[in-house]
Amino acid sequence: MIYNYLISDYVNQEHFKNYSTVRKKSDLKKIYSDIVKISKDSPSYIVNPTEETQAFAIQLKEGSMSLQETLEQLQNGGLSSAFSYKEVLNDNTKAISTVIDTDDHSKLPEDFSIQIDSLATGQVNSGVFVNADANRMNIGEYVFRLDTEDESYDFNISVTKSSTNESTLRAISSMLNKSPADIFSKVEFDKKHEKLKLNISSSQTGSPDGNPLFQLSDVSHSKGHRGIVATYQLDQIEQMPANSSFRINGEEKSTLANEFTLNNSLHVTMKKTTFNPINVHFVSDSKRILSEMDVLQDTYNGLVQLSYGQNNDPSKLATHMLHDLKDLFSTAKDELAQCGISFDDKGFMHVDKEQARISAQAGKFQDIFGENSNLSSRVINQSKMFSMDPMKYIEDKIMVSYPNPTKEHVANPYMTSIYSGMLFNSYC
Residues 32 and 62 in one domain: yes
Per-residue pLDDT tens over the stretch 60-91: 888 888 888 888 888 876 667 888 899 999 99
423 or 234: which carries more pLDDT confidence?
A: 234
Of the residues 239, 270, 294, the one at which a domain ends? 239
Q: Domain of residue 327: give its range.
A: 2-82+286-424
* 83-114 b/e (C-beta count within 10 Å ≥ 16 → b): bbbbbbebebeebbebebeeeebeebeeebbb
Coil vs helix vs strand at 199: strand
Q: Are residues 167 and 228 in the same domain?
A: yes
CA-based nearest residue to 242, from 256, 259, 260: 256
| Local confidence band at 40 (pLDDT 50, 70, 90 cut-offs) | low
Would you state the pLDDT for residue 156?
94
Q: So what's the pLDDT on residue 20?
A: 47
pLDDT band at residue 411 under the 50/70/90 scheme: low
pLDDT in tens, 176-235: 999 999 999 999 998 887 899 999 999 999 999 989 999 999 998 767 678 999 999 999
What angle, 0 to 180 degrees and rounded to 10, lies between the N-to-C axes of helices 286-308 and 353-361? 130
Is the model's pLDDT at 53 over the cut of 80? no
Residue 199's pLDDT is: 97
pLDDT of residue 48: 72
pLDDT band at 124 (very low <50, low <70, confident <90, very high): very high
Percent of the chain at pLDDT exceeding 90: 52
What span, in angstroms and rounded, lies between the C-alpha atoms of 336 and 79?
25
pLDDT higher than 90, residue 343: yes
Identify the sign of the CA torsion 313, 316, 320, 321: negative
User: Same domain for 18 and 68?
Assistant: yes
Q: 103: which strand partners?
A: none
Mean residue pLDDT of the chain comes to: 83
Is 142 in the same domain as 152? yes
Q: Give yes or no: residues 257 and 207 share one domain.
A: no
Nearest Cα residue to 272 out of 120, 122, 119, 123:
119
Region for residue 263 given its phi and psi (left: phi exceeds 0; alpha: psi -120 to 50; beta: otherwise):
left
What's the CATH number where 147 sits?
2.60.40
| pLDDT tens for each residue of 130-173 | 999 999 998 889 999 999 988 999 999 999 999 999 999 999 99
- Verify that 99 and 78 share a domain, yes or no: no
The confidence score (pLDDT) of residue 72 equals 87
Mean pLDDT of 276-283: 96
* Last-in-domain residue among 284, 312, 342: 284
Q: Is the pLDDT of residue 372 over 60?
A: yes
User: 419 with 295, same domain?
Assistant: yes
Continuous H helices in 180-248:
228-232
Which of 250-254, 344-348, 385-389, 420-424 is least confident? 420-424
Domain end residue (candidates: 284, 314, 343): 284
How many domains are there within the chain?
3
pTM score, whole prediction: 0.73
Choice between 226 and 9, residue whose per-residue pLDDT is larger: 226
The residue that leads in pLDDT, 45 or 336, is 336
Same domain (yes/no): 210, 332: no
Together in a domain, 111 and 256:
yes
Whether residue 397 is found in the same domain as residue 317: yes
The lowest-confidence range among 5-9, 272-276, 278-282 is 5-9
Query: For the chain, what percent of residues have pLDDT higher than 70?
Result: 79
pLDDT at 322: 81
pLDDT, residue 10, reads 39
Instruction: Give the Cα separation of 143 and 158 in Å (integer).
Output: 9
**Domain identity same for 232 and 200:** yes
Residue 205 has a pLDDT of 95
CA 121 – CA 127 distance, rounded (Å) = 19
Cα 360 from chain centroid?
15
Quick one: 309 and 387 in the same domain?
Answer: yes
pLDDT at 13 over 80: no
